[in-house]
Structure 1
């Protein structure tokens, strides 16, 4: 289902947006070098590594540059028809 957007910051943009797909990569890093020492997926995640639970998509206003969760832009459009 598609929904109209309205930027909650500039309050005028309803047409120009950047859709940002978020893809989480679970890793373990060396604390001194920052080098990735291990990568995790759902089958091999250890007990101390939580799975990513954030939004799959974020939206950036193409006018003012604000980046927020998609639902923020949808809700603002619903409130300001």
Structure 2
């Protein structure tokens, strides 16, 4: 299973501009399945597989904004904690 690694740099939410500590890393999975063409019922499913991503998506746990990691890092660089 692929894992995105997050950088050890400060974040600052570019949307609410109040959060520097509470975040979620958002990952995507692909899960193959087969459906019956007539009834629409799911016939079978396979195990979910993580989608390999170049850069993790980060979600602010204060306002819910989601964006790529560099947006959060760049915002922290523009407005460093004094």
Residues 18-73 of structure 1: CA deviation (Å, up to 9, x unaligned): x335346497x99xxxx8xxxxxxxxxxxxxxxx8854411000100000001100
1:65 corresponding residue in structure 2: 64
The answer on 1:78 being equivalent to 2:73 is: no
- Where does the alignment leave 5 or more consecutive residues of structure 2 unmatched? 1-6, 36-41, 43-50
1:10 corresponding residue in structure 2: 16
> So what's the TM-score if we normalise by structure 2?
0.57
* Mapped partners of 1:21, 1:56: distance in 2: 11
Task: Give the alignment's Cα RMSD to 1 decimal.
Answer: 3.2
- Where does the alignment leave 5 or more consecutive residues of structure 1 unmatched? 36-51
Q: How many residues align?
A: 71
Structure 1 stretches of 4+ with a deviation exceeding 4 A read: none
Contact kept in structure 2, 1:21 and 1:56, CA below 8 Å: no
